[in-house]
């Protein structure tokens, strides 16, 4: 039997006031009338805890758009789970935060799109910057630990020092600087988002110096720009290994992007239990362990480090989710990635960003 | 590199870190933003004594009553690993 998961990513809704063009939600967003109701989410949390999950990440879209959020926080807390609220900060008033804290939120992750108001609001597509600064102050007042999350790309990578300074000013204990991963919305906007080698060469030492300078005060987690790397990321630390995602409509996913693998048969909490889906479903077992691997992964010692990289990326760029992640220098499809870099990193004509919205 | 923790250092559980018992895994666990640590019995005893009052030496002394052969240096090393994982802070 597979080991129990540690975490549940609960995407309570896909509705969001922000329109970031690299959103990790799928391009086909779930509509409000298809969202799970309060009772169903409570049941999902019960099942996740029985299965072994100890962390509940309440995310979206924007989870604050769910009026039942305080009730869901209280329920996850009552099960003994660590409750992490992942928010844009838009709609997080002082009163709202106080209530959520009193119901058992343990930690808040606040997104920040760029170092400045102008940059932030341009990327978010709405005036969100001032709300975020206020939200950070309320979180600090309430004494909750804060992680600031920034997705990095060609449009904001040059402002990395300012982003780090902004997170410090916001009182963050952690800062996640994650280079864009190209699925769904980000894949659509790749030619606007792909950073150049020069940008990364400037940013990397700035991040390293800040990690050193802020040691013990603010931890900086840096997620690599994998198209530019020789080896893939250890995606999800293995398929169906540590975490599961439940989408707003109850679809259960081995990773938040898994809907891009169109050949994958996705299960739903309305039809089966999380226990059954985690342990017995074809989707969760498809790429578990090492048996499914082909060469070069199968005979590669790095398979225990990176698990063959990302299945979604393999599917999107090679058409077969069981192939080696094509960003790997050992992949026979690496040239596909190099071609994309050559074409899209410095396009002669940069297309406009397609902003995230319900179709 | 794991930094060295002195015997008179006073460890405390960091803000936002939750220590609990998981009936499913039948183990003490530490929950924090980055993840979950499943503790063995010794580590669980050490974590429960990281109260911001006792020093590493005090913890070793307290555990010496329960477990034979507890060396203060072993406790210091374990605390250093917990600091590295951002589960505890040390003063002094």
| A171–chain B Cβ distance below 8 A for any pair | no
H or E element in which residue A156 lies: none
Residue B84 in domain = yes
Mean pLDDT of chain B: 89
Contact between chains at B16 and A106 (C-beta distance less than 8 A): yes
| DSSP symbol at A290 | S
Task: Decide if pLDDT at B64 tops 90.
Answer: no
Q: How far is CA A224 from the centre of its chain?
A: 14
B22 within a domain of the structure (yes/no):
yes
Is residue B4 assigned to a domain? Answer: no
pLDDT bracket for residue B3 (50, 70, 90): low
Q: How far apart are CA A63 and CA A92, in angstroms?
A: 10
Three-state DSSP at A178 gives: strand
Distance (Å) from the C-alpha of residue B92 to the closest C-alpha of chain A?
14
Number of domains in chain B: 1
Residue B53 included in any domain: yes
**Which residue has 């499809």 as its token pair?**
A333
- Whether residue B1 has pLDDT greater than 50: no
Contacts of A49 in chain B (CB under 8 A): 24
Q: Would the CB atoms of B22 and A6 count as touching at under 8 Å? A: no
Hey, is the C-beta of A205 within 8 angstroms of any chain B C-beta?
no
Q: Is A161 on the interface with B (CB under 8 A)?
A: no
Q: Give every CB contact of residue A233 below 8 A, 6+ residues apart in sequence.
A: A181, A223, A224, A226, A306, A309, A310
- B77 within a domain of the structure (yes/no): yes
In a domain, B86, yes or no: yes
Which token pair is A317?
């760029």
Chain B residues with beta carbon closer than 8 angstroms to that of A145: 15-16, 33
Query: What is the H or E stretch that residue A200 is in?
Result: helix A197-213
Q: How far is A332 from chain B (nearest CA, A)?
A: 34
* Predicted TM-score of the model (pTM): 0.94
Q: For A219, which of B20, B36, B86 is closest by C-beta distance?
A: B86
Question: B33 to chain A: which residues are within 8 Å by CB?
Answer: 84, 107, 109, 145, 147, 174
B4 burial (CB, 10 Å; 0-12 / 13-18 / 19+) is: exposed
CA distance linking residue A112 with residue A149, whole number of Å: 6
What pLDDT, on the 0 to 100 scale, is given for residue A1?
83
Flag whether A235 is marked binding.
no
Distance, in Å, from the CA atom of A354 to the CA atom of A340, rounded to the nearest integer, reads: 19
A138 touches A130 (CB < 8 A): no
pLDDT score recorded for residue A66: 98
Please tell me the predicted confidence (pLDDT) of residue B19: 92
Q: Which stretches does DSSP call E strand in A126-181?
A: 146-152, 174-179
* Number of C-beta neighbours around residue B44 at 10 A: 18
Known binding residue A16? Answer is: yes
Residue bearing tokens 């691997």: A293
Token reading at A73: 């926080």
Q: What is the mean pLDDT of each run of 10 residues along chain A (359 residues)?
A: 94 97 94 97 98 97 98 97 98 97 97 97 97 98 96 97 98 96 94 94 97 93 93 93 97 96 96 98 96 95 95 96 96 96 83 87
- The CATH number given to whatever domain includes residue B28 is 1.10.10.1150
- Gap between the terminal Cα atoms of chain A: 40
Q: Cβ contacts (< 8 Å) between A109 and chain B: which residues?
A: 33
In angstroms, the CA A311 to CA A258 distance is 8
Residue B47's domain spans which residues?
10-91
Cα-flanking dihedrals φ and ψ of residue A9, to 5°?
A: -95, 110
| Interface-testing mutation among A86, A106, A110, with chain B (most B C-beta atoms within 10 A) | A106
Report yes or no on B44 lying in a domain: yes
**Mean per-residue pLDDT of chain A:** 96
Q: Å from B30 to nearest chain A CA?
A: 10
State the distance between the two ends of chain B, measured CA to CA, in whole angstroms. 20
- The answer to whether residue B2 sits within a structural domain is no
Q: A23: annotated binding-site residue?
A: yes
């Amino acid at each position: 039997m597979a080991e129990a998961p540690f975490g549940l990513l609960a995407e309570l809704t896909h509705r969001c006031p922000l329109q970031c063009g690299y959103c990790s939600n799928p391009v086909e967003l779930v509509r409000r009338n298809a969202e799970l109701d309060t009772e169903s989410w409570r049941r999902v949390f019960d099942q996740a805890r029985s299965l072994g999950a100890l962390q509940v990440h309440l995310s979206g879209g924007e989870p604050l758009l769910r009026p039942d959020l305080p009730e869901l926080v209280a329920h996850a807390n009552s099960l003994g789970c660590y409750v992490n609220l992942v928010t844009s900060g838009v709609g997080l008033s002082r009163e709202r935060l106080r209530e959520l804290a009193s119901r058992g939120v343990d930690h808040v992750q606040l997104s920040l799109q760029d170092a400045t108001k102008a940059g932030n609001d341009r990327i978010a597509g709405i005036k969100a910057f001032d709300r975020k600064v206020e939200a950070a102050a309320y979180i600090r007042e309430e004494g909750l630990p804060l992680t600031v999350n920034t997705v990095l790309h060609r449009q904001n990578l040059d402002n990395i020092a300012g982003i780090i300074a902004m997170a410090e000013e916001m009182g963050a204990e952690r800062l996640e600087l994650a280079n864009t991963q190209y699925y769904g919305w980000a894949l659509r906007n790749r030619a606007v988002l792909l950073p150049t080698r020069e940008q990364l060469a400037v940013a990397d030492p700035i991040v390293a110096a800040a990690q050193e300078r802020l040691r013990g005060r603010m931890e900086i987690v840096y997620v690599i720009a994998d198209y530019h790397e020789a080896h893939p990321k250890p995606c999800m630390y293995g398929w169906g290994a540590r975490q599961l995602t439940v989408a707003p409509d109850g679809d259960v996913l081995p990773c938040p992007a898994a809907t891009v693998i169109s050949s994958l048969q996705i299960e739903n909490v309305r039809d089966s239990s999380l226990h059954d889906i985690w342990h017995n479903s074809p989707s969760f077992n498809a790429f578990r362990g090492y048996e499914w691997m082909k060469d070069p992964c199968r005979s590669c010692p790095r398979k225990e480090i990176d698990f063959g990289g990302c299945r979604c990326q393999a599917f999107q760029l090679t058409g077969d989710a069981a192939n080696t992640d094509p960003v790997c220098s050992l992949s026979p499809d690496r040239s596909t990635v190099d071609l994309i870099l050559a074409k899209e990193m410095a396009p002669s004509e940069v297309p406009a960003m397609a902003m995230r919205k319900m179709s | 590199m794991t930094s060295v923790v002195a015997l008179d250092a006073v460890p405390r559980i960091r803000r936002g870190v939750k220590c609990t018992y998981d009936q499913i895994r039948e183990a003490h666990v530490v929950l924090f933003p980055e993840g979950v640590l499943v503790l063995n019995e010794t580590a669980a005893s050490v974590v429960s004594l990281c109260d911001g009052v006792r020093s590493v030496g005090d913890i070793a002394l307290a555990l010496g009553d329960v477990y034979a052969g507890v060396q203060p240096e072993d406790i210091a090393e374990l605390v250093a690993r917990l600091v590295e994982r951002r589960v505890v802070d040390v003063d002094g």
